[in-house]
Chain A
Amino acid sequence: MSDETIISQLKKSFLFRGLPDKVLIELGRKATKRKLAKDAVLMRRGDVGDSLFMIVQGWFKIVAEDANGNELAINQTGPGETIGEMALLDQAPRSATVIASSDAEVLELKQDAFYEILDQRPDLAMELIRSFSSRLRFSTTYIQKAIEWSQKISAGDYSFIENTLTMSQAEGTDEDKASQLLSAFFQMVHNVKDREDQLKKQVENLILQIDETRRRQEFEEITSTDFYADLKEQAKKLRAQRAAQQQNEK
């Protein structure tokens, strides 16, 4: 793997985005190559994670288990992607199982190697903190917005939507899952609103219109015949008879 490839690959992770290229090259050199056969498990959900993987070639599926213990592929990832970067900083258990879906090759960067570089270059720690706080602010802003918008929606106010779409598009370039989710969510809200508008319009469209002139004309046409006059007379008699009949029954 060339240095450039490693640089561009690491830069996809928010963690490394702000670091100088020189440092990234160094990190890349500390990484070790691993080959995996198809169906080999790269990591298991719940394992303690202490390394990051860069996919050189091949594909991986990220799987969860359903209630019955069946494997459920929830995502897939391939060359150029990075898996498990948070493990370099905390020792939280892996959040999902990752399995090679083809023969594959990865570069593994161990936590130790990462710490070694941090020891040598304390200024990098500052850079990392900056990345984290900007990401944190980003998430918090989203959460605040989400709360604010939810409140507006429940009050029937959709006026913020116009601004939202451009905003989520702009920030959608950041590979932040939260932003994608929110953007999808508000797109949905947008659709619901469209449908509501549509519905209002259609119910209004149903305003019934009767051509009163035509109504009178047709009525006169039908009622001006002899047949109709007879019928009316007969119907009257018949009703009178039946009323009398019912009177008698009582």
Chain B
Amino acid sequence: MSSGKIISIHSFRGGTGKSNTAANLAALVALAGKRVGVVDTDIQSPGIHVLFGLDENKMGKTLNDFLHGKCAISEVAFNIGEKAIDAEGRAKLAGKNLWLFPCSIRGREISQIIREGYDVNRLNEGFQTILKELNLDYLFIDTHPGLNEETLLSIAISDVLIIILRPDNQDLQGTAVTVDIARSLDVPNLILMVNKAVPKYDFNNIKKQIEDTFKASVAGVLPLSFDLADNASKDLFSLRYPDHDWSKALRGVADVILAVK
């Protein structure tokens, strides 16, 4: 078994920015010289592959194949540092140790796995195998919103759980439940991250209120950004625009992850 860390990126509600955050954090950590994997466990609505420029043609074996017992997890690994450096931001990852484990984006395969289900234990075995075989320092898990079984699994086995929320009362309610679950499952490191904060608010005030509410630390408050939305998940924003406020705040979050013992 490896001593690499599992970092789950989760949010109770959808569209908070999990996939953008997971992809950019993984890239920043890989840029820092670490060996990094990213698994998309959002089987029902995969998204993170877009940030790495993968489409149906480029995609080879997927997590679905592994979960159906059709291949080994190592065959799913897509080497980003070699095969996805076709955009300005991603180009900075050339030669870095970063692998993506994508889900199938074929409608038929998605409906099949939703219909038939799969063994979450196998998913867990997959995580452990990846950590070991690729000798990873960090394995990032992008999740489906809500608290379904594979999400509960990824929370249960994570060393670091990053819960993303928007400064919005609906997000808060769900985040409260997730925080309780994470504590009940003894997740060793619980980190909150606020995304899509409207810039006119006082970010320090938001941070403080949320920390007080959940008694957990907020690693960053990231602004709602037109530029980021305009990027439309086509490239790794924090690599392409390192001086942008969103990117700066995300580097703060990456530093927190790198500092976890």
**Chain A residues within 8 Å of B, Cβ to Cβ:** 199, 202-203, 206-211, 214-215, 218-219, 222-223, 227-228, 231-232, 234-236, 238-239, 241-242, 245-246, 249
Bound complex: CA of A219 vs CA of B178, how far in Å? 8
Given A199-B202, A245-B1, output 9 extra A-B contacts at Cβ < 8 Å.
A202-B200, A208-B169, A214-B173, A222-B177, A222-B181, A228-B152, A234-B124, A239-B186, A242-B3
Q: Is B110 an interface residue (CB 8 A)?
A: no
For the A-B complex, the count of residue pairs with Cβ-Cβ distances under 8 Å equals 71
The 8 closest A-B pairs by CB, nearest first: A235-B156, A245-B1, A218-B177, A219-B180, A215-B176, A210-B176, A231-B156, A203-B202
B129 to chain A minimum Cβ distance, whole angstroms, is: 14
CB distance from A197 to the nearest CB of B (A): 12
Distance (whole angstroms) from the CB of B144 to the closest CB of chain A: 15
B167 within 8 A of A: yes
Q: Is the CB of B156 within 8 A of A223?
A: no
Q: With A208-B213, A219-B180 in contact, is A203–B185 under 8 Å at CB?
A: no
Do B209 and A207 have beta carbons less than 8 Å apart?
Answer: yes
- A210→B175 CA distance, assembly (Å): 10
Q: Which residue of A lies closest to B197 (CB)?
A: A206
Contacts of B94 in A (CB 8 A): none
Measuring CB to CB, which residues of chain B are less than 8 angstroms from any residue of chain A? 1, 3, 121, 124, 147, 149, 152-153, 156-157, 167, 169, 172-173, 176-177, 180-181, 184-186, 188, 200-202, 205-206, 209-210, 213
User: In the bound complex, how far is the Cα of B3 from the Cα of A215, in angstroms?
Assistant: 34
CB neighbours (8 Å) of B186 from chain A are: 235-236, 239
List 16 contacting pairs A-B, 8 Å CB cutoff, sorted by A. Answer: A199-B201, A202-B200, A203-B202, A206-B206, A208-B209, A208-B210, A209-B172, A210-B176, A214-B173, A215-B177, A219-B184, A223-B181, A232-B184, A234-B156, A239-B188, A242-B1
How far is it, in angstroms, between the C-alpha of A239 and the C-alpha of B157 when the chains are bound? 8
